[in-house]
Structure 1
């Protein structure tokens, strides 16, 4: 399942903002495939695509807003991939009587919100200290 990582999204955001949308999408797919190969939970090929290469590629969407340091669009994209996967493939884990969409939103949102906050703070600090050169 999902968990808060030590700002794993920061390098992907930086790369996307530095090199643009296409490069960000590509590096996200590569990261997702490596993450999946090193111990990802795969129960179905479609679920694997949603939770790994597509979810991490979505972080590359932050390359669309590289001049404004907006990383939220990438996190929303990643959330949507995990959310859909949760509804379709992990609904059986929802407590009895709980709507699978609500369960997926709570489960995936709980760790992605924290990761988003941590990553946003780090990106902001790096930019303020001129350690994050974008263009």
Structure 2
């Protein structure tokens, strides 16, 4: 990849991170964050499908760090470990969807079922691994807010699992629609055909 290709990747990554941060200002959560819909997961996973897992994870990590720097994450600050688990680590894991990048790009215009399976697999993988970090933070840090009679692991499972399921469903539906109506979004112009 030449200099202009590298510049395109960096610019695209910066735009995606900025879009994710902007989308995080749209309040889609219940009081106390019991349900938290993260619209930024959609462009982040799409970026990972376009650019692969490494660049997807770097962009996700940057999104998590920006959430800390701009103060959004600090509204929920309990400990440094909790902050790292719920933001940079969880958001970086969204980039793991990029593991399916090559297969999606290879099949996006020809094999719709194969592409759909890969998109769903990528979203499920990324969401579940990101959710695992939030689940662990909930079980070990946020559990102090659980009712005394409730097991902290069960509390975190229900509390974070609902959000994970809703985010997974929303991301899957939107990305499948995009694959059908705008498949070229999944293939960068500066990349050779796979």
Q: Could you say whether these structures have the same fold, taking a TM-score greater than 0.5 normalized by the shorter chain as the test?
A: yes
Alignment partners' CA distance in 1, 2:165 and 2:127 = 8
Matches within 5 A, 1:75-94: 75-94=127-146
Residue 21 (str. 1) matches residue 74 (str. 2) = no
More helix by share: 2
- Deviation per CA, 1:67-113: give whole Å up to 9, x if none: 22221100001110000001111111111211100000110111121
Q: Return 5+ residue gaps in structure 1 as ranges.
A: none
- Partner residue, 2:65: 33
Alpha-carbon distance, 1:134 to partner: 3.1
- Partner residue, 2:167: 115
Residue 49 (str. 1) matches residue 84 (str. 2) = yes
Alignment partners' CA distance in 1, 2:85 and 2:97 = 18
Residue 3 (str. 1) matches residue 36 (str. 2) = yes
RMSD (CA atoms): 1.4
Q: Is the 8 A contact 2:128 2:164 kept in 1?
A: no
Residue 133 (str. 1) matches residue 190 (str. 2) = no
- Deviation per CA, 1:10-47: give whole Å up to 9, x if none: 11001111000100110000001112233212221111
TM-score, normalised to structure 2's length? 0.65
2:123 to 61, 68, 71: 71
Alignment partners' CA distance in 2, 1:62 and 1:71 = 6
If you compute each CA radius of gyration, which structure gives the higher value, 1 or 2?
2
TM-score, normalised to structure 1's length? 0.92
